[in-house]
Structure 1
Amino acid sequence: MDTAAAEWTATDEGPGQRPAGRRFGAWCAGLLLAGVSVVAGFRAADSDGITPVPQLLAFLPWMLVPTAVALLFTLLARWWPGTVWGVAVLGVLAWYIEPYGTSDEPAGRPVASFRVLTSNVEFGQGTPALVAAVRREDPDIVFVEECDPDCDARLKQDLAREYPHRRAVEGGGSEGSVILSRFPLRPTGGVPATMGMPGAVADVDGHAVRLQLAHPMPPLPGQVDLWKRELGDLRAAARTDPGTPLVLAGDFNASQDHAAFRRILDTGLRDASRLDGADRTATWPARTAPTFGVQIDHVLVSEEFAAERTRILDLSGTDHRAVVTDLTLHERP
């Protein structure tokens, strides 16, 4: 054997051979891409699937991280089919990370303006911070989720003068919810659910506006079907009485990457955060937001509304950030 042949045999890969390090890199890349592809596939199929898909869908933008790591592995391993696979997955993720829903402005003339704030106070623990935020932000309507009896008592004590009208579902832990309003309220049946979701019709400067608090069960393992059903009940509520403008606000335990949430938007509702350029601003978990988190707290409005000055507020004592937005009601053309 000549010297060149000997050098080739010692240093180059033969057919079907790959150094152990490259094989390991290719396997790591394949596993990462397979996992992300499943999640992206359900997103593309407009389905929430079963555990762990709905839980991972909430963090869809963060799927870019394992995809980028997988692409690096494919390059180091010189696994070119894997590189093509990774680029394709990256393209799918980039497509679906774009904001969902319309941001069109209403065409009719403006007839009323008011401010809305929604906050999950985590079993009432964030109530003092919420009271301070309400006094600072001066909203006209406040939606409060996970308002236990102590929270309810504190709101009555501190805010009854400013907000004489209220609708509540009393309950301990996460079950209690309250709507506070400066405007007179006419009660509605709300949406029956595991956790309180009260409803009302507000008289806003002579204009009827439906208010519905949202707080479906989270998509924990073992209760994904319940989560889907309660989001479906909110969708059904959004479709009732279409002639009356609607504000549907609260902790939806869902992001725009969940099909069950998008079906609510498909009734014609728009997310105030989307209308005002604050979409995908994380509201949970508060401890790591805004660096890491998802937007699951929303103020959804019917097409008669414009939104501006949407802000995401940090409140101590709760794992959720609050959402506050200024809404303008327009006449239907």
Structure 2
Amino acid sequence: MTITDAPTATRPAHRRRLTRTLLIWLLVAPAAIWFVIRGFGFERDRFIQLIAFTPYVALWSAIPALVALVARRWAAAAVAVLTAFGLAMGVVPRALPNLDRGPSDGTAITVMTANLLFGGADPASIVRLVRENDVAILAVQELTEPAAGALDAAGLGDLLPHRSVNAEAGASGSGLYSRYPITEPGSWRTDGGFLQAYATVRVPGAVPITSESAHPLAPAVPESFSGWRSDLAGQPAADPDGTPRILLGDFNATLDHKLLRDLVGTGYRDAADATGKGWIGTWGPYDGDPIPPVTIDHVLADERIGIRDVEVHGVTGSDHRAVIAELTLPEAR
């Protein structure tokens, strides 16, 4: 009787073990797939949007690893641990100051970028940030004609009298304001339809620098995905043999997007990443939307430019926060 019933008795236990193993793999798989997509730049379609939330997935990925280890499902545990480690290596360094922030000797300057949300941001809030932080170069996105007039009426023209401005209705307008004289002002329109104002800024005692208000198309709907990719791929690369460049603005991408990492890799430093402040959110819940904070506004500085510090401030009336970076420009020879 015992011999004939033994296989029957072991079947439920075997099924339970298989079920637990399957459930653990189902727990492990999403983060593992996420890691592959993020690591190799396979983001497509809706994953273009989702990949911005990688830091949250990295934090969560420790849970499947712990569950698999406790359950002694060693194959699943190995995959989960490698996934958690890989995701951590992608996001943790942003919270740690880099040893190499570029040159520390040179001319100090403070720059700022702010998205005005269809021109609706409070101009007094922008001007206050410029004044209180001694900002010398300001890049704004979604600049409308009324917003440009309101900024001047609030006193921006007194603080930053030199400008390259191309305001438009909606989200496509762009502006670059400077305390110091500029040359070669202009703007260009991305494939996605947004303008990017630029100019060469002549800071006393420093080499000339090209500054540009960056604004690739937002991947808000499927119809904009190809424009987003084209706009990011079309951003000006750093030129080690040319004029040092600062790209600052709303990139509609985080450092978890491969296209932005590729752009930085041409010879830029991300100022927030370099100072260990790369986790600070710049877009998401700041106008009341139930969206976890993500970091899509950046200051990218040519590697010949030093990074001193970064601060992020709220802007009344905008869904973006302003990014303010203290930089060191190479001295003129």
Cα displacement (A) at 1:109: 4.5
- The 3-state SS of whatever aligns with 2:247 is strand
> Do 1:304 and 1:331's aligned partners in 2 also have CA atoms closer than 8 Å?
no
What corresponds to 2:51 in structure 1?
57
Unpaired runs of 5+ in structure 1? Answer: none
What corresponds to 1:247 in structure 2?
246
What corresponds to 2:84 in structure 1?
90
Q: TM-score, normalised by structure 2?
A: 0.84
What corresponds to 2:219 in structure 1?
219
State how far apart, in whole Å, the 2-side matches of 1:260 and 1:299 are: 16
Unpaired runs of 5+ in structure 2? Answer: none
Q: Deviations over 1:151-186 (max 9, x none)?
A: 111112221122111111221121111111111111
> Do 1:108 and 1:331's aligned partners in 2 also have CA atoms closer than 8 Å?
no
User: Percent of counterpart pairs with the same letter?
Assistant: 30
> Do 1:39 and 1:56's aligned partners in 2 also have CA atoms closer than 8 Å?
no
Q: Deviations over 1:129-166 (max 9, x none)?
A: 22232232231111111122221111122211221111
Cα displacement (A) at 1:33: 2.8
State how far apart, in whole Å, the 2-side matches of 1:191 and 1:38 are: 38
Q: TM-score, normalised by structure 1?
A: 0.84
State how far apart, in whole Å, the 2-side matches of 1:165 and 1:243 are: 23
User: Per the alignment, do residues 123 and 258 of structure 1 end up closer, same or farther by CA in structure 2, a change over 3 Å counting?
Assistant: same
Query: Match of 2:161, as an amino acid?
Result: P
User: Per the alignment, do residues 58 and 149 of structure 1 end up closer, same or farther by CA in structure 2, a change over 3 Å counting?
Assistant: same
Candidates 30, 36, 41, aligned match of 2:25: 30
State how far apart, in whole Å, the 2-side matches of 1:107 and 1:212 are: 21
What corresponds to 2:181 in structure 1?
184
Q: Is it true that 1:320 corresponds to 2:320 in the alignment?
A: yes
Paired residues in the alignment total: 323
Q: Which one is further off, 159-168 or 92-101?
A: 92-101
Query: Match of 1:280, as an amino acid?
Result: W
Coordinate RMSD, CA, aligned? 3.2
Q: Deviations over 1:276-295 (max 9, x none)?
A: 22222221214399x94221
Q: Which one is further off, 71-80 or 293-302?
A: 71-80
User: Per the alignment, do residues 28 and 285 of structure 1 end up closer, same or farther by CA in structure 2, a change over 3 Å counting?
Assistant: farther
- Please list, as runs of the form range in 1=range in 2, the aligned pairs for 1:1-333 lying within 5 A after superposition: 14=12, 16-18=14-16, 23=19, 26-45=21-40, 47-71=41-65, 74=68, 79-99=73-93, 104-106=100-102, 109-110=105-106, 112-128=107-123, 129-158=125-154, 159-193=156-190, 194-205=193-204, 207-220=207-220, 221-234=222-235, 237-239=236-238, 242-287=241-286, 292-331=292-331
User: Per the alignment, do residues 303 and 68 of structure 1 end up closer, same or farther by CA in structure 2, a change over 3 Å counting?
Assistant: closer
State how far apart, in whole Å, the 2-side matches of 1:86 and 1:108 are: 41
> Do 1:312 and 1:323's aligned partners in 2 also have CA atoms closer than 8 Å?
yes
Cα displacement (A) at 1:9: 7.5
> Do 2:116 and 2:141's aligned partners in 1 also have CA atoms closer than 8 Å?
yes
Cα displacement (A) at 1:268: 0.7
State how far apart, in whole Å, the 1-side matches of 2:62 and 2:23 are: 12
User: Per the alignment, do residues 262 and 114 of structure 1 end up closer, same or farther by CA in structure 2, a change over 3 Å counting?
Assistant: same
User: Per the alignment, do residues 286 and 323 of structure 1 end up closer, same or farther by CA in structure 2, a change over 3 Å counting?
Assistant: farther
Query: Match of 1:123, as an amino acid?
Result: F
State how far apart, in whole Å, the 2-side matches of 1:275 and 1:66 are: 25
Q: Deviations over 1:231-289 (max 9, x none)?
A: 1111xx23458421211100111111111001111111111112322222221214399
> Do 2:98 and 2:275's aligned partners in 1 also have CA atoms closer than 8 Å?
no
> Do 2:52 and 2:257's aligned partners in 1 also have CA atoms closer than 8 Å?
yes
Cα displacement (A) at 1:125: 2.2
